[in-house]
Amino acid sequence: MTTTVPTLRDTIAEDLRIQITTGHLKPGDRLPSEPKLATQYKVSTPTLRQALALLQAEGLIEKTHGKGNFVRAPLRRITYRGGGGLPFTPGLQTTIRTTAVRARGHIRTLLKVPSNTPLTEFHCTTYEGETPRSVARIYIPRDLGPAAQLASSSWPGSRDTDRTETQETVTARLPTLEEATALRISPTRTVLAITRIALNSTGRVLEVALLALPSDAADAVFTTHPPLKEETDR
């Protein structure tokens, strides 16, 4: 039988975690400075920062540049439902900004279009109060129709009558610098990254959506429908 001995980093993180979860440290409280905590736990500053990074990744604390580390208030979990749309939880608001761009790099590959194909980019951010909860970039070839028409429903995207298949890939990873800035989270806090591709009956890609949600406060739910009886009898 192998016994795993906790590292100093893990021991410090667990002690602070207990203080937070038991209410000894409350939401909004500022932790002692990193040098003071390093002295308190008798470790080097790099080791102390590794312990704090664990708590940041769990969403228990957040670091504000120039001010220090603070205990985070618990956030309601939000839900992304597979098949299209943006994350939805009652009380969320969404801002949408559109930009005319050209297909390049990874986006061009996902859309399966020639380089420099005109696209409309929808940059969507959902908020709970003033707190960003998710960010999304949705790309649609401009020849599918006017952007205003495509964005006329409750969320931007291709018309449901055109969509016959949706492919979604979900990955847990560290945020990009742009995502961390937009979500106002630490770059060490993981996000749930969702790549959604919508296709029509001919296999043409109608849209590509790239979404990111802090993984400690989000759920992704996918519903699978069994095939119709007529299809199974073929």
Judge contact between 164 and 173, C-beta under 8 A: no
Domains and CATH numbers, the chain: 8-71 (1.10.10.10), 78-221 (3.40.1410.10)
Of all residues in the chain, the percent with pLDDT exceeding 90 is 54
The residues near 105 (Cβ < 8 Å, ≥ 6 apart) are none
Phi, psi torsion values for 171, nearest 5 degrees: -135, 140
For residue range 9-27, list pLDDT tens digits in order: 999 999 999 999 899 999 9
Tally the residues of the chain: 234
pLDDT score of 111 more than 70 = yes
Average pLDDT of the chain, as a whole number: 85
Determine whether 168 is exposed, middle or buried from the number of CB atoms within 10 Å of its CB (0-12, 13-18, 19+): middle
For residue range 203-219, list pLDDT tens digits in order: 999 999 999 999 888 88
pLDDT score of 76 more than 80 = no
Collapsing DSSP states into helix, strand and coil, what is residue 35? helix
